[in-house]
Amino acid sequence: MAVVRLHHNPETQTVTLSDENNPAVALEIDAAQLEQVLHGLGEMRSRLEPRVEPEWQPGRPVQAITNPRFSAELPKDRDFTVLHLRDPRFGWLHYAVPFPECGRLAEFLARAVKRNAPPQTPQH
């Protein structure tokens, strides 16, 4: 079985993927090529068993991206919002969120903001 090693070369701004057991097998790629590989790996992962769980189980430990950049837009004549989230590892990820799910997300976020809002000081 291959033992994959990754090496970042800051001078050439490339990544080398190599097989520790077979040093003659190596692939040196730049950022654009790496994005293509990541996209392809994601597509391949979607076909593998076991499948990614369809529902998230709250309370599980995660390594979350802190304060990700985001943007959203309403495409004309569509029944969804496009939500764009920036992941520093994978770039901008794009999700078509149906309006009913947008409502559920908005309600959840509103509750989170209300729960974590600083106390109001009385005004005289």
Q: Report pLDDT for 66.
A: 96
Q: Report pLDDT for 117.
A: 80
If asked whether residues 43 and 76 sit together in one domain, one would say no
Q: What percent of the chain has pLDDT over 70?
A: 98
pLDDT digits (tens, 9 = 90+) for 70-101: 999 999 999 999 999 999 999 999 999 999 99
The last residue of a domain, from among 32, 54, 76 = 54
User: Which tokens hold the place of 119?
Assistant: 């106390």
Domain count, the chain: 2
pLDDT digits (tens, 9 = 90+) for 32-42: 999 999 999 99
Which residues, in sequence order, are bridge partners of residue 81?
Answer: 97
If asked whether residues 46 and 2 sit together in one domain, one would say yes
**Does a structural domain hold residue 123?**
no
If asked whether residues 48 and 76 sit together in one domain, one would say no
For residue 122, what pLDDT band results from cuts at 50, 70 and 90? low
If asked whether residues 1 and 45 sit together in one domain, one would say yes
Q: How many CB atoms lie within 10 A of CB 96?
A: 12
If asked whether residues 34 and 77 sit together in one domain, one would say no
**Does a structural domain hold residue 27?**
yes
**Does a structural domain hold residue 9?**
yes
**Maximum separation of any 2 CA atoms in the chain, in Å:** 77
**Does a structural domain hold residue 59?**
no
If asked whether residues 5 and 38 sit together in one domain, one would say yes
> What is the SS3 assignment for the chain?
CCCEEEEEECCCCEEEEEECCEEEEEEEECHHHHHHHHHHHHHHHCCCCCCCCCCCCCCCCCCCCCCCCEEEECCCCCCEEEEEEEECCCEEEEEEEEHHHHHHHHHHHHHHHHHHCCCCCCCC
Q: Report pLDDT for 40.
A: 95
**Does a structural domain hold residue 85?**
yes
What's the domain range around 12? 1-54
If asked whether residues 77 and 106 sit together in one domain, one would say yes
Distance (Å, rounded) from C-alpha 69 to C-alpha 47? 29
For residue 2, what pLDDT band results from cuts at 50, 70 and 90? confident
